[in-house]
Structure 1
Amino acid sequence: MTTPSAQQPGRLDPGPAGIASERRRLTNLAYRLLGSLADAEDVVQETYARWYAMPAERRAAVVSPGGWLTKVAGRVCLDLLGSARVRRERYVGEWLPEPLPDRAELVGGRVGGADADAVDPADLVTMDESVHMAFLVVLESMTPAERVAFVLHDVFRYPFPEVAGIVGRSPAACRQLASSARRRIRTARRPAAAEHHASLVREFRRAWAAKDIGALVGLLDPAATSTPDSGGLVPAVLRPVVGSEAIARGLAEVREQQPGVELLERTVNGQPGLVARLDGVTVSVLAFDVADGRITRIWAMRNPEKLRAWTAA
Structure 2
Amino acid sequence: MVDARSDAAASFDPLRPKLMRVAYRMLGSVADAEDVLQEAFIRWMGADRSEVREPEAFLRRTVTRLCLDQLKSARRQRETYIGPWLPDPVVEEEEEEDITLPLMLALERLSPLERAAFLLHDVFGLGFEEVAATIGRDPAACRQLAARARTHIREARPRFQVDKQHGIALAEAFFAASRSGDMKTLGAMLATDVSVHADGGGKRSAAMGPVTGFEAVMKLHESLAALFRKNGSTLVRAGLINGLPGFITLEADGELQTTALEIEDGKITAIYVVRNPDKLRHLH
> How high is the TM-score relative to the length of structure 2?
0.87
SS in 1 for 2:87: coil
How far residue 227 of structure 1 moved from its aligned partner, in angstroms, is: 0.5
Q: 2:259 aligns with which of 286, 289, 298?
A: 286
Query: What is aligned with 1:220?
Result: 190
Question: Equivalent residues in 2 for 1:241-260 (5 A)?
Answer: 241-259=211-229, 260=232
Counterpart residue identity of residue 206, structure 1 = A
How far residue 24 of structure 1 moved from its aligned partner, in angstroms, is: 1.4
1:18-76 Cα distance to aligned partner (Å, 9 max, x none) = 1222211111110111111111101101111122233xxx3322222221111110011
Query: What is aligned with 1:238?
Result: 208
- 5+ residue gaps in structure 2? 1-6
1:182-238 Cα distance to aligned partner (Å, 9 max, x none) = 334432232332154334323322321221333323321111111010110012212
Q: For the structure 1 residues 179 and 245, does the alpha-carbon distance in structure 2 shift closer, same or farther, using more than 3 Å as the test? A: same
- Alpha-carbon separation, structure 1, partners of 2:251 and 2:16: 34
Q: For the structure 1 residues 303 and 244, does the alpha-carbon distance in structure 2 shift closer, same or farther, using more than 3 Å as the test? A: same
How far residue 152 of structure 1 moved from its aligned partner, in angstroms, is: 0.7
Identity across matched positions, percent:
39
Query: What is aligned with 1:266?
Result: 238
| Coordinate RMSD, CA, aligned | 2.3
1:148-188 Cα distance to aligned partner (Å, 9 max, x none) = 11111112121111111222222111112212323344322
Query: What is aligned with 1:4?
Result: none
Q: Does 1:139 align with 2:129?
A: no
> How high is the TM-score relative to the length of structure 1?
0.80
Q: 2:11 aligns with which of 14, 18, 27?
A: 18
- Higher percent of residues as helix: 2
- 5+ residue gaps in structure 1? 1-13, 103-124
Counterpart residue identity of residue 77, structure 2 = R
Does the CA-based 8 Å contact 1:273-1:288 persist in structure 2? yes
Q: How many residues align?
A: 274
- Alpha-carbon separation, structure 1, partners of 2:98 and 2:21: 10
Does the CA-based 8 Å contact 2:160-2:265 persist in structure 1? no
Q: Does 1:90 align with 2:80?
A: yes
- Alpha-carbon separation, structure 1, partners of 2:228 and 2:166: 29
- Alpha-carbon separation, structure 2, partners of 1:71 and 1:126: 23
SS in 2 for 1:249: helix
Question: Equivalent residues in 2 for 1:193-212 (5 A)?
Answer: 193-194=162-163, 195-212=165-182
- Alpha-carbon separation, structure 2, partners of 1:271 and 1:187: 16
Does the CA-based 8 Å contact 1:33-1:147 persist in structure 2? yes
- Alpha-carbon separation, structure 1, partners of 2:199 and 2:264: 23
